[in-house]
């Protein structure tokens, strides 16, 4: 077994453990939009695990697995953020951005040369929209008169973790989609390993954060 396969196996184990921990803490946030968190995490595990196994034992052309699950992933993520944004004006903008983001992803999926092509530009657009929705939620929270207690807002850990994760991986997506060949194949493997380490760190953050948090405030 190669170094890459060992790292990825540990990475998937971290993801599985995170899914179990976050799901076990559901009573703390089941009354909030964060109730979508387990579904989002389990989908991520299915995507990464399925793509890894399919690419290792069937064929390397496993892009369709990631592309399909990414569309569902961002749809769930946008729906969660939309439910968190309650101000009428911001909510309208959030709805438009979410629809455009998913529509563009689906459009690229069906118009690409192959279902296995990495839809990097569509992915980066989706991440950018997620970033905007997150900023909108923060603005709404800062403008409210509600007292803020971090342990009662586990969504900050969840949202922040996924923002960091996607922003770290963005350069790999962009360079591969534009076929720039800036780096060697070995360097891309190194970057993928870095992404796995960051993903494990984020999953550790999720586990600690959800165990440490108190019952979420609406």
pLDDT at 209: 92
pLDDT at 58: 78
**For residue 193, what is the enclosing H or E element?**
helix 185-212
Q: Tens of pLDDT along the chain (218 residues)?
A: 666 677 778 888 889 999 999 999 999 999 999 999 999 999 999 998 888 888 777 777 777 888 899 999 999 999 999 999 999 999 999 999 999 999 999 998 898 877 767 777 888 899 999 999 999 998 888 787 666 677 888 998 999 898 888 777 776 666 655 554 555 556 666 666 677 778 888 999 999 999 999 887 76
55-75: b or e for each residue (b if 16 or more CB lie within 10 Å)? Answer: eeeeeeebbebbbebbbebbb
pLDDT at 95: 96
DSSP 195-209: HHHHHHHHHHHHHHH
Which residues lie below 8 Å from residue 177, measured CB to CB, with a gap of 6+?
Answer: 118, 119, 120, 121
Architecture of domain 3-212: Up-down Bundle (1.20)
**pTM score, two decimals?**
0.87
């Amino acid at each position: 077994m190669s170094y890459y396969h060992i790292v990825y196996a540990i990475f998937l184990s971290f993801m599985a453990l995170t899914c179990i921990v976050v799901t076990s803490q559901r009573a703390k946030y089941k009354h909030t939009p964060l109730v979508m968190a387990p579904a989002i995490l389990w989908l991520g595990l299915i995507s990464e695990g399925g793509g890894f196994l399919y690419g290792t034992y069937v064929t390397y052309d496993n892009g369709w697995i990631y592309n399909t699950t990414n569309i569902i992933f961002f749809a769930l993520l946008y729906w969660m953020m939309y439910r968190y944004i309650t101000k009428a004006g911001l909510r309208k903008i959030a709805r438009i951005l979410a629809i455009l983001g998913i529509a563009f992803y689906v459009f690229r999926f069906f118009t690409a040369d192959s279902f296995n092509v990495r839809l990097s530009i569509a992915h980066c657009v989706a991440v950018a929209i997620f970033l905007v929705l997150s900023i909108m939620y923060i603005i709404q929270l800062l403008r409210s008169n509600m007292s803020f207690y971090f342990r009662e807002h586990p969504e900050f850990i969840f949202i922040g973790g996924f923002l960091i994760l996607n922003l770290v991986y963005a350069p790999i997506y962009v360079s591969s989609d534009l076929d720039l060949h800036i780096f060697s194949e070995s360097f891309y493997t190194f970057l993928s390993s870095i992404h796995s380490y960051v993903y494990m760190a984020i999953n550790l953050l999720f586990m600690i954060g959800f165990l440490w948090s108190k019952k979420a405030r609406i």
